[in-house]
Structure 1
Amino acid sequence: MPLTVPAPASKRREIWRLAWPQMLMMVAHFFVGFVDVLVAGKLGTDVQASLGLITQSFFFFLIIAIAVSNGVVAAVSQSLGAGLARRAQRYTMFSLALALAGGLLIFGAGVLLRGPFLDVLQTPPDIRDESAYMLTVFLLVVPANYILNVGNAVFRAYKRVDIPLIALTIVSVVNTVADLGLGLGMWGLPAYGYKGLAWATFFSYLAGALFILFVLARHEILRLRAFPPVRWMKPAWSYLFKVAWPAGLTHILWQTGYLVLFAIVASLPRENVNALAGLTAGMRVESALFLPAFAFNMTASVLVGHFLGAGDTHEARRTGWQILGFGCGVISLLGVVVWQFVEPIAALLTTSDAVTKQIVEYLFWNILAIPFTTASMILVGIMSGAGATLYNLVIFGSATWLIRLPLAYFLGHVVLKDSAGVWMAMLASQVVQAGAGLYIFHFKNWSRFSMRNQKQLPTIRTDQCAPRTQKP
């Protein structure tokens, strides 16, 4: 049966209806990584090291999926907001094809360049074999992961956030069962160790991707005859590319920025090893706080996209302010609660007093930054829904590379000569980032990036190529 967009409720109810399943979705995603690390730890330090190395690299393999997903949310949500269901379906088919092609491209390039890639990562000889095997299997995961990411973006654009939640729950459950079964040999299954751990990731994402394709087909969105003609693809690709490339480049700058931050901490004049351990553990606690923030980020992109598609710029802006107020308020309250238990939480993550001190200090500065970090994440969602990802690129790129990293080095290596300077720089960059984002949101015409304002794309606006008997 055809997929329909749920009827809008009151604004606060709709924000919450979209946000809470996506919070649970992020929890499911969190548990995938958590179980992997837990099982790898039981298999040995070499396996845990290999998993960490390849998992960190895997974020770079997802660049095309993240870029296309941003374009999908903007294009499909705006199409549905404009009442153009056929255009939304065509964008879905086109985007899934791009995702599959991109996934296969990354897989092929990765297999050919696997050896040099491991050399660039400075893979220690002791874990070279495990890392090479995991890299090969993780490359096999890429096409399924791409389909899952883009398919989930499509359903979010349709406001059917229950389907991505089910999909990631399937991924989490299959991954947990396969990790424990194939990795540790539980339930009578053969124990394949690190090989079983790698294949658990493959089977889980394949199951999630197959579920997404099944639901798309069941709702008559995934249909061969709905694939757009070539003359439609050119303007469609033009808009997708305009949204996708800044989103992809933002992801690259963000990930490499964290790698540089780790290097700055690792080379501190004092307590560098303890500071590095504190940063790693502190980020795990902090990431749990930002699961709800990602939910509000995705909610903002969907609702803003729908309103801009309908031509209601005023309501898009008003909704953005409501999500900012609601999201920042909720997550700041969570931060206040966590702040009361910082020391016990830190003590659970390490047996070292020196590392505990570093975790507490890291969380002090970064929980203080929560209102600014949450605002930044929600503003990213708003701009993504509008197709204005170029603003995200400028804001995040500048805040990371012109504020955070130079200031972290200056305060950490020159002024204070310890990790406190790095944590202060992280807070300062979040303040600048949020301030710049709020300025653009309030004063700039970011809605001009929506499809309704792309004068050079008439075929997209009128949905040409539709049958004459069907209204666009």
Structure 2
Amino acid sequence: MNHVPRLLKLAGPMILSTSAITLMQIVDAIVLSRYSSEAVAAIGPSGLAVILFQGFLFGTAGYAGTFVAHNHGRGDLAGVRRSAWLGIHTSLISGVAALAFAWPLAQLFLLAGHAPQVARDETAYFGICMAGSLFPVLGSALAGWLSGIGRPVLVTAVTFFSFVVNALLAWGLVLGEWGLPRLGITGAALATVSAQAVAAFLYSGIFMVAGGWSDRIARRLAWPDFSRFLKLAMPMGLRISGELCAWTLFLVALGRLGTVELAASSIAFRINGMAFFPALGLGQAAGVLVGHARGAGEDDQVPEIASQSLVVCEIWMFAMAVLFATCSGPLMSLFAGTGPESARIIETGSVIMKFVAFYCLFDAANVMTGCVLSSAGDTGWVARTFLYCSAGFLLLLWLISWLIPSLVAEWTLATCFVFFTAVVWSLRFRSGAWRKIQVLHQHH
């Protein structure tokens, strides 16, 4: 198990930074619950919509980290800087595009048929977060650079600092504490964007100290290199958005069964995050090791890295599955509140947590193999198959919700979907097709 120590050293910081976005939204939700129930209702859909759009931009700009890892493995310092700049250029372009589209897209919430105050809150939150997209996307690109050169501890430090900024500003701006204006959900959005801006400035400072800003040659946007980067990176962004979209539509379908089912399922997803985000951090760490190995021309190391990382990830997921299966009631009651429906939510949620526990075991293979294939450069194939699998999943979901609408049937389908993608990606990795894909140009 010679790769495990390096994996764990990289994974710790990455787990913390992947969990940070969810933590920020949880803090926002807690603070908003002291402001108004409309604001709490509004942050669900608008928060998801922000992540849907930004997920594509994050995934694309953050893929610069894969190029960085390959160049780092090759020992090419100039290549490392050029790769970091590919991510920076991507984030600048997408930041301008997001700013242009933020207002028109935000108006769509007014057509969703939600209560007038909820719709206004959704529009405000989405519009502000989208307009500030440049900051988290630039942060994602530069965090990718730091992870790719094996310095993820700096990523953790920046993430934690921005998390504290977000929590303090949210408290002040939502509730009007410490002489700040009482802005409600607008305050939550401003706090989030400010915290992301602080992180982006800190990352930029680290990049400047490393000589990245002053490197004229790396900074130049060479179109052939940039289009090659986008060809590999955009499928990564699409897959992230596609995955979020599929699970959002799954929640929408569950919402048709009733409020209790929807509430219990939403809570189950939040609890599942406890297992999923650390697994994703492990997957990203494995991806960096794969990038280093492929950059150094050591393709034969990749299957070893993948199998050892998968073992670590499976041990983690197994532990979480046992927890979910045996303590589902107490876990649900943490989030279920004390309303008249809470007993039914806990009861329904306990059934759902058994499914979550079961599919966690496949999700380890799903996350790990997906990250390894993407880091090896096989993003196009991964995105295409994921699209086909998701389309099949959503079609069956639509049929079930019309013909035999039941919680058990819909969650069984979701579990099969996770299992199926895990099998498909594992077979693809076994086939070795990724060996033929060149992420970097050959040395001139």
Name the TM tier (shorter chain): over 0.9
- Residue correspondence of structure 1 range 42-441 to structure 2 within 5 A: 42-111=34-103, 113-114=104-105, 116-229=107-220, 233-268=222-257, 272-350=258-336, 351=338, 352-402=342-392, 404-411=393-400, 413-415=402-404, 417-441=405-429
Distance 1:295 1:204 in 2: 21
Shift of residue 114, structure 1, vs aligned partner: 4.4
Alignment-mate amino acid for residue 204 of structure 1 = A
Of 122-131 and 150-159, deviating more is 122-131
Distance 2:316 2:382 in 1: 23
Given that 1:89 and 1:226 are in contact with CA atoms closer than 8 Å, whether structure 2 keeps it comes out as no
Matched, 1:462 2:443: yes
Given that 2:61 and 2:88 are in contact with CA atoms closer than 8 Å, whether structure 1 keeps it comes out as no
Paired position in structure 1 for 2:29: 37
User: Secondary structure of 1:43's partner?
Assistant: coil
Shift of residue 368, structure 1, vs aligned partner: 0.5
Distance 1:66 1:263 in 2: 24
Distance 1:262 1:190 in 2: 35
Given that 2:65 and 2:148 are in contact with CA atoms closer than 8 Å, whether structure 1 keeps it comes out as yes
Per-residue deviation, residues 302-358 of structure 1 (Å, max 9, x unmatched): 111111111111101211111011111122112213322111112232242222122
From the superposition, tell whether residues 300 and 121 of structure 1 become closer, same or farther in structure 2 (CA, over 3 Å): farther
Distance 2:328 2:80 in 1: 46
Distance 2:245 2:16 in 1: 28
Q: Report the structure number with the largest CA radius of gyration.
A: 1
Count of residues paired in the alignment: 440
Given that 1:451 and 1:461 are in contact with CA atoms closer than 8 Å, whether structure 2 keeps it comes out as no
Alignment-mate amino acid for residue 197 of structure 1 = A
Q: Choose from 433, 437, 440 the match for 1:449.
A: 437
Distance 2:345 2:331 in 1: 12
Distance 1:120 1:223 in 2: 47
Distance 1:252 1:24 in 2: 21
Distance 2:121 2:382 in 1: 37
Distance 2:254 2:183 in 1: 36
Shift of residue 76, structure 1, vs aligned partner: 1.3
Distance 1:328 1:69 in 2: 29
Gaps of 5+ in 1: 1-8, 453-459, 464-472
Distance 1:331 1:115 in 2: 37
Alignment-mate amino acid for residue 65 of structure 2 = V
Shift of residue 442, structure 1, vs aligned partner: 1.0
Gaps of 5+ in 2: none
Distance 2:105 2:301 in 1: 49
Distance 2:56 2:415 in 1: 30
Distance 1:80 1:313 in 2: 15
User: Secondary structure of 1:186's partner?
Assistant: coil
Distance 2:252 2:186 in 1: 30
Distance 2:206 2:319 in 1: 37
Given that 1:282 and 1:359 are in contact with CA atoms closer than 8 Å, whether structure 2 keeps it comes out as yes
Shift of residue 196, structure 1, vs aligned partner: 2.1
Given that 1:331 and 1:370 are in contact with CA atoms closer than 8 Å, whether structure 2 keeps it comes out as yes
Given that 1:22 and 1:161 are in contact with CA atoms closer than 8 Å, whether structure 2 keeps it comes out as yes
From the superposition, tell whether residues 315 and 367 of structure 1 become closer, same or farther in structure 2 (CA, over 3 Å): same
Alignment-mate amino acid for residue 234 of structure 2 = W
Per-residue deviation, residues 168-189 of structure 1 (Å, max 9, x unmatched): 1122100001111222233454
From the superposition, tell whether residues 162 and 123 of structure 1 become closer, same or farther in structure 2 (CA, over 3 Å): same
Distance 1:234 1:344 in 2: 55
Shift of residue 255, structure 1, vs aligned partner: 2.4
From the superposition, tell whether residues 31 and 103 of structure 1 become closer, same or farther in structure 2 (CA, over 3 Å): same
User: Secondary structure of 1:13's partner?
Assistant: helix
Shift of residue 259, structure 1, vs aligned partner: 3.0
Distance 1:21 1:31 in 2: 15
Given that 1:66 and 1:247 are in contact with CA atoms closer than 8 Å, whether structure 2 keeps it comes out as no
Given that 1:62 and 1:146 are in contact with CA atoms closer than 8 Å, whether structure 2 keeps it comes out as yes
From the superposition, tell whether residues 412 and 105 of structure 1 become closer, same or farther in structure 2 (CA, over 3 Å): closer
Distance 2:2 2:210 in 1: 26
Given that 1:182 and 1:200 are in contact with CA atoms closer than 8 Å, whether structure 2 keeps it comes out as yes
From the superposition, tell whether residues 321 and 21 of structure 1 become closer, same or farther in structure 2 (CA, over 3 Å): same
Per-residue deviation, residues 377-415 of structure 1 (Å, max 9, x unmatched): 11111012111112321332233221x333434455434
Given that 2:148 and 2:288 are in contact with CA atoms closer than 8 Å, whether structure 1 keeps it comes out as yes
